[in-house]
Amino acid sequence: NLRRVPGTNRRVYRSAHTDDLATLVENANQIWKATLSSSFPLLTQISLVLDLRSPLEIDEEKVRIWTNSNTFGDLWRISEDEIPNLTDTSLRRRCVVRVNMTEKITHQLKDSPLKLSRFEKMVHGISEHGLGFLYKMLLNQHDAIFKCLVIITTHLEECPANKVLLHCVQGKDRTGIISMLLESVAEVSDEQILQDYM
């Protein structure tokens, strides 16, 4: 479900996880590998991949395969711990940056003696109020959201010709929240933002 984020002049794209790229690279024979990058030109133009998944959702081997592939060009992998040390110069390189959008939510559930009741409340809230409840929880992750927006805007300012891809697992909830905020900043209408979500 790769598509552009409206209002970003075709500079920001969103999708589901990128693990399938590893399968594509592994299964391509040498002749087809030569044409693979030209078959997927956007992937060679993307200079920042913002991965919003939690560590448990990431298949490190698949990430290693496709980011080290000559097919799509080598991408530097940056963990969330390294983000505070990033400089504008660092963000000029082609890279994959990870920001765990659900870390605080899962941390609260994991470390609390009341974790079961909190989990039950979360499940009840989602079943009672729908995904809007989940989105409110995600929007309360101010630190992660701010990190994402700073990384994207800094990268685009430093590299005006480059493109950004943001993704989570399905490319809907976490990716949708960041996309919605980018669209809102770009003054995309609420109707168009809603249409982009559908």
Query: Mind listing the pLDDT tens digit for each residue in 88-133?
Result: 556 566 788 888 887 766 655 555 555 556 666 666 666 777 777 6
Position 167 scores a pLDDT of 93
Q: What angle do CA 3, 157, 87 make, to 5 degrees?
A: 110
Q: CA 163, CA 168: separation in Å to the nearest integer?
A: 17
Lowest-pLDDT range of 4-8, 26-30, 64-68, 194-198: 26-30
Q: What is the pLDDT of residues 79-89, one digit of tens each?
A: 666 666 666 55
Residue 17 C-alpha from the chain's centroid: 8
Q: What is the pLDDT of residues 38-85, one digit of tens each?
A: 666 666 778 888 999 988 888 888 888 777 766 666 677 776 666 666
Position 182 scores a pLDDT of 92
pLDDT band, very low/low/confident/very high, at 1 (cuts 50, 70, 90)? confident
How many percent of the chain have pLDDT more than 70?
67
**In the chain, where the domains are located:** 3-102+141-197
Phi then psi for residue 166, to 5 deg, are: -115, 145
Position 173 scores a pLDDT of 85
Q: What is the pLDDT of residues 141-192, one digit of tens each?
A: 778 888 888 889 888 888 788 899 999 999 888 898 899 889 998 999 988 8
Q: 3-102+141-197: what fold?
A: Protein-Tyrosine Phosphatase; Chain A (3.90.190)
Position 151 scores a pLDDT of 87
Q: Which residue has the higher pLDDT, 19 or 140?
A: 19
DSSP string, 144-165: HHHHHHHHHHHHHHH-TT-EEE
